[in-house]
Structure 1
């Protein structure tokens, strides 16, 4: 009987998706915002995996020409981080932070003038199943792998574009950060195989490329990248660098001498925010050895659903803020707002997820190389992100072996302080991947959450990427 009811529910949801998704999912108002919404919003659930799971999405139409603007997915990483983190603290139409709170604890949503929805139709999806407000069907073991993410997200997109069929002809992109560097190529592979969308490319910030390589492998090569990053940022003395190199060699194996040298490095570095080494909010002061010890154990993560959203393991303390750049408290206030019953009612959500995640993708560089020859791909990094440092991302993008189309150079962007003044925003290298550009770009002064730390530069980057313009 339970299976029959579950099947009926799936069929009903699919039918609703095809015929009335816009009507039933439209968000007409949001607590904390007392004016008309700047553009149309939709929030609801779509089934994936033959009804095994239901993914929560929040779709925000572009503020300019939504009928012709591209449709862009945004995904946070983790695994287990809600993409509402991106919406409400990074590039969404509204933001939360300490400035949202008054002395009585009331929360006001803050309009984000650098929202990516100013130029694109933005689709934020809490995935995989069991993350955030997304959930699994009753009686289903809520287990995800890197490969299942791709197929089930392709299911989600089929349902979404059935319900919002007027957007199926629009250019389509997938963007995200951190562990989304693993999600996105798996999704691109699945979408490419189905061949039913106007897929143009992907942009990935501070991204992982596999669970056994580079920084996110949390092995010896992650230590090698960290040594170079911290040395380049002047976080330990010059005299220690050759000592580490002598003790660790090429970091191919772990030795007692190497561990001792790295321990000395960590002591001299001290405490800092691994997501932004210049952060001063003070809510996530940890050592790199602490972080790597917590994550190195890992081939499986579990989120319990004890909050209305699940964040990346390194963000559990609610890190936000940066040196003189942006307000603290972004995720703290986000959690407060999303836990309000009237907010959940406005967003049509009534579940809190619980999932198990198995990190199964070892090395995705060969897949990246294949995809880059079919789609336009941008890899970008915040220059002060110590979680997935630019040093490692520059290395692996170069070592894919594509010929340089344009060598490393500065790129510029309007400043958030002086919109009519161009400032140096970072550095960019462009490779020729056949029919498409493959690009590596840094954003100076940004940490792991580039759109939060440097919103004006992030919007410029995003706009030029969508328009296939030089950076």
Structure 2
């Protein structure tokens, strides 16, 4: 064989290899039907992977739903679920942000079925539900080193994801963009927003038409969020006047890092934990379930106390699926996602790459390689008030103690913004849906809202009210 022929063959192999790599780095498919839903989906669903990081070793999986109203004009929203390590499928199905919800009432122990969600935010926005950071949901890394990430690396990878996704979806480059999430996303989203702002400023392509961000019950100042548990518990009558007064005096407002020699403070904190030990901190009015239930960690950082399941307990509930316990607990419904997402036909329909994950879990508790290197994102918000003209929506379900409205309002007030509208009720169908305030500084605008009766993931508990809030804010209306 001639040298020329060998060179030609080599070139062909190289080109094929590069094409395969490109396909692996960014692949997406339209999903027209899903197991558990009868007939063709009445909305446009796309799933896929985008490669990020060094040599695209991290493969981030996403679900994308086009706006059911006007995808050419409606905003584009990137949605992240907290954890870190929780799949965005949680936002898609459980938090009522996506167009489907599980049919709990008719569940018979077999493959779960779906109902259409009348309060889906996709009625007014196109939404990318992203499994991030790597290790969440169906996202994976090709090397073990790929799982060694931090808050800042995760944010940088999400920014890279957005740029790559918009390159392959140029029809959405002119749409207004928002970045949103809840719970631990309160740490990562502000870093992503800063990445986008800085990238746009230096001319990175494509330009991202970012208009702002929205965060629900956001972990923001991890020490302050936990400190606020004491005052919140007092306000909602979970602790006595006497214990609250003693805690403030003995601990001097510091309940996270406590001097063990401060005997009275230690004693008061033990009494506090006794009072809340059997309370569901994600929603203080709902049953506290010992299986798959958020647990209070007292004075530990809140991201460890919420949004996670114990795998052994999930397996136990699976065995109960045909005759569930008599006591209803919201967390019991999470078992449906394990049955559905681990079904082979489901993964084929979603175009999941075979062999990339062992078992799908709603919230990955085994992310030992993840480093929490950002304690507070308050300074990020402060910088936005000085440098940007962004809009923000910050909201709290008012029955959440793990990241309460008390702590959220405390850090908001440190931004020294002008109060444009004081605490006032907002309404849905003539009923008080919560309370709202508006702040401004320079060209920056913040809307704050509580959702009455909402828990840690507020739309999960109050879908109608949460949809009304999102619809009005995205349309630039007052709540």
TM-score (norm 2): 0.83
Matches within 5 A, 1:228-247: 228-247=231-250
Q: Which residue of the other structure, out of 119, 123, 138, is the alignment partner of 1:133? A: 138
In 2, the alpha carbon distance for the partners of 1:403 and 1:94 equals 40
Aligned-pair CA distance for 1:325: 12
The residue aligned with 2:9 is none
Secondary structure in structure 2 of the residue aligned to 1:183: helix
Secondary structure in structure 2 of the residue aligned to 1:189: helix
Aligned-pair CA distance for 1:465: 1.4
The residue aligned with 2:39 is 35
Give structure 1 stretches of 5+ with no counterpart: 216-221, 302-310, 414-420
Secondary structure in structure 2 of the residue aligned to 1:99: coil
Aligned-pair CA distance for 1:204: 0.3
Do the aligned partners of residues 95 and 278 (structure 1) sit closer, same or farther apart at CA in structure 2, a change above 3 Å counting?
same
Aligned-pair CA distance for 1:357: 0.8
The residue aligned with 2:448 is 440
Q: Which residue of the other structure, out of 359, 372, 375, is the alignment partner of 1:359? A: 372
Deviation track 1:311-348 (CA, whole Å, cap 9, x = no partner) reads 943687679xxxx9996633211121111111111111
Deviation track 1:75-111 (CA, whole Å, cap 9, x = no partner) reads 0111111111111111111112632512x52311121
Aligned-pair CA distance for 1:285: 5.6
1:248 correspondence with 2:251? yes
Larger Rg: 2
In 1, the alpha carbon distance for the partners of 2:374 and 2:82 equals 14
In 2, the alpha carbon distance for the partners of 1:297 and 1:187 equals 19
Q: Which residue of the other structure, out of 409, 416, 425, is the alignment partner of 1:401? A: 416
Secondary structure in structure 1 of the residue aligned to 2:448: strand
Secondary structure in structure 2 of the residue aligned to 1:151: helix
In 1, the alpha carbon distance for the partners of 2:106 and 2:77 equals 27
1:424 correspondence with 2:435? no
The residue aligned with 1:417 is none
Do the aligned partners of residues 326 and 70 (structure 1) sit closer, same or farther apart at CA in structure 2, a change above 3 Å counting?
farther
The residue aligned with 1:346 is 349
In 1, the alpha carbon distance for the partners of 2:16 and 2:411 equals 49
Deviation track 1:402-439 (CA, whole Å, cap 9, x = no partner) reads 111111111112xxxxxxx3211111111112223112
* Contact 1:96/1:331 (8 A) holds in 2: no
Q: Which residue of the other structure, out of 403, 420, 424, is the alignment partner of 1:388? A: 403
Secondary structure in structure 2 of the residue aligned to 1:424: strand
1:257 correspondence with 2:264? yes
The residue aligned with 1:168 is 173
* Contact 2:434/2:452 (8 A) holds in 1: yes
Aligned-pair CA distance for 1:268: 2.8
1:191 correspondence with 2:199? no
The residue aligned with 1:307 is none
The residue aligned with 1:200 is 211
TM-score (norm 1): 0.84
Q: Which residue of the other structure, out of 447, 454, 457, is the alignment partner of 1:449? A: 457
In 1, the alpha carbon distance for the partners of 2:302 and 2:219 equals 14
In 1, the alpha carbon distance for the partners of 2:107 and 2:17 equals 41
Do the aligned partners of residues 140 and 287 (structure 1) sit closer, same or farther apart at CA in structure 2, a change above 3 Å counting?
closer
Secondary structure in structure 1 of the residue aligned to 2:63: strand
The residue aligned with 2:113 is 108
Matches within 5 A, 1:308-347: 312-313=307-308, 329-347=332-350
* Contact 1:63/1:118 (8 A) holds in 2: yes
In 2, the alpha carbon distance for the partners of 1:429 and 1:43 equals 37
Matches within 5 A, 1:81-96: 81-90=86-95, 91-96=97-102
Do the aligned partners of residues 161 and 389 (structure 1) sit closer, same or farther apart at CA in structure 2, a change above 3 Å counting?
same
Deviation track 1:137-169 (CA, whole Å, cap 9, x = no partner) reads 245441111111221111111111112111111
* Contact 2:302/2:403 (8 A) holds in 1: no
Matches within 5 A, 1:265-276: 265-276=272-283
1:462 correspondence with 2:457? no
The residue aligned with 2:156 is 151
Deviation track 1:355-377 (CA, whole Å, cap 9, x = no partner) reads 52100013221111112452101
The residue aligned with 1:214 is 224
Do the aligned partners of residues 210 and 326 (structure 1) sit closer, same or farther apart at CA in structure 2, a change above 3 Å counting?
same
Which stretch of structure 1 is more off in the superposition, 443-452 or 421-430?
421-430
Equivalent pairs counted in the alignment come to 429
Deviation track 1:222-244 (CA, whole Å, cap 9, x = no partner) reads 2x311101111111222322222
